[in-house]
């Protein structure tokens, strides 16, 4: 959660009037490279959502994360809806391992019945574009996809594009901000 890219996202969302709550999975706290078992990750997601609801009552609550964190959040939501969460946001959803295209990691998304926003680079080696667009079509009205041209899994773009990574991040966060605004307007009173 202290990674410079996560800090930059949090700061940029704050300038857009969007509050965030960052947290870490226990394996990150231990500085381990091996992720925790999914049940522990799901419990961590649930604890973070509960804390966000406690410290910011009345705000439209969304959950999500970057890569693995987004996948663990969606799995938790699929197993049992996260209380008060109105939508899920994924920054670089890891659809499959690099070099091993497939959609098994996304099978649980069919159980998610709240809006989902996928922000994905077109060069993401963990989400082959054809598979990702087919997934979004299958999820129909629950899923929105915003593609970042030439961006990889870290939202880095090659120098030849003439774009800077900060510009790509701003595009991603502008898309997120607009999606959140629409979600908030549709929130029940």
Q: Could you tell me the pTM of the whole model?
A: 0.93
What is the C-alpha to C-alpha distance for residues 7 and 2, in angstroms, rounded to an integer?
6
Work out the average pLDDT over 127-139: 97
For the segment 92-132, what is each residue's pLDDT rounded down to a tens digit?
999 999 999 999 999 999 999 999 999 999 999 999 999 99
- Residue 121's SS3 state is strand
For the segment 4-62, what is each residue's pLDDT rounded down to a tens digit?
777 888 888 889 989 999 899 988 889 888 999 999 999 999 999 999 999 999 899 99
Query: Secondary structure of 78-109 in the HEC alphabet?
Result: HHCCCCCEEEEEEECCCCCCCCCCCCHHHHHH
Give me the domains of the chain, ranges plus CATH numbers. 23-28+35-184 (3.40.50.1820)
């Amino acid at each position: 959660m202290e990674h410079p890219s996560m800090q930059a996202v949090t700061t940029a969302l704050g300038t857009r009037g969007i509050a965030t709550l960052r947290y870490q999975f226990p394996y990150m706290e231990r500085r381990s490279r091996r992720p925790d078992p999914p049940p522990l990750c799901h419990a961590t997601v649930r604890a973070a959502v509960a804390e966000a609801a406690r410290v910011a009552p009345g705000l439209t609550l969304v959950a999500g994360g970057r890569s693995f964190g987004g996948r663990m959040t969606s799995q938790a939501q699929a197993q049992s809806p996260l209380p008060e969460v109105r939508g899920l946001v994924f920054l670089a959803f890891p659809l499959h391992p690099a070099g091993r295209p497939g959609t098994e990691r996304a099978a649980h998304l069919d159980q998610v019945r709240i809006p989902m926003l996928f922000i994905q680079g077109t060069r993401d080696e963990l989400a082959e574009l054809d598979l990702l667009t087919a997934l979004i079509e299958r999820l129909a009205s629950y899923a929105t996809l915003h593609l970042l041209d030439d961006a990889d899994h870290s939202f880095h773009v090659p120098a030849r594009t003439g774009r800077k990574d900060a510009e790509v991040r701003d595009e991603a966060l502008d898309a997120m901000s607009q999606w959140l605004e629409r979600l908030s307007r549709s929130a029940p009173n």
